[in-house]
Amino acid sequence: MEAEETYLKGCFIFTPKVFEDSRGYFFESFNIATFKSLTGVFVDFVQDNQSLSSKGVLRGLHFQTGEYKQAKLVRTIKGSVLDVCVDLRKESKTYRQYFSIVLDDKKHQQLFIPRGFAHGFVALENNTIINYMCDNYYNKSAESGIIYNDKTLNIDWKLDNSELILSEKDKELPKFKNLLP
């Protein structure tokens, strides 16, 4: 496994060593000792989530607040997504900046998103399955988000607005400037 830190401190891209032959492929998707040696971070994942999305489904930008903040390790099992994370750490040099990467079932890369970030993704193919492990439990009272098309963030979602499919809840998320301090 190789790790590369993005320009957002603490946010890493992991590229596994994939072993392929006529039977298919095998790779190690997570190993706590390897993760810690590559990042210097100890993380204890306690919740594993998976979703299925049609092309154009945009989920996000979501985050948890307070003691329920979550770090995530995101990967695509089938299909492809444009995965996006936004630095919400006010003390960070990259506050309000975002990072995006295409995660697919070909390269098998993963994105580690530390606590203090918003996260979202858009499915680039039908029947896309995404998986993400979280280091804290979901808590409905701590959930928050930012509208996907916020002008302050100016995220390029790689699809035309007419192709995007959002939940009613995600359509009503606040603008970045309206987040609680």
Could you list the active site residues?
62, 132
Euclidean distance between CA atoms 168 and 48, whole angstroms:
24
Q: Do the beta carbons of residue 134 and residue 72 sit within 8 Å?
A: yes
DSSP conformational letter for 140 = G
Q: How far apart are CA 26 and CA 28, in angstroms?
A: 7
Q: Are the C-beta atoms of 89 and 40 separated by less than 8 Å?
A: no
State the Cα angle at 115 between 49 and 73, rounded to 5°. 35
Q: Which sign, positive or negative, has the C-alpha torsion 142, 57, 120, 127?
A: positive
- Tell me how far apart the terminal alpha carbons of the chain are, to the nearest angstrom: 38
Bridge pairing between strands 2-5 and 80-87: unpaired
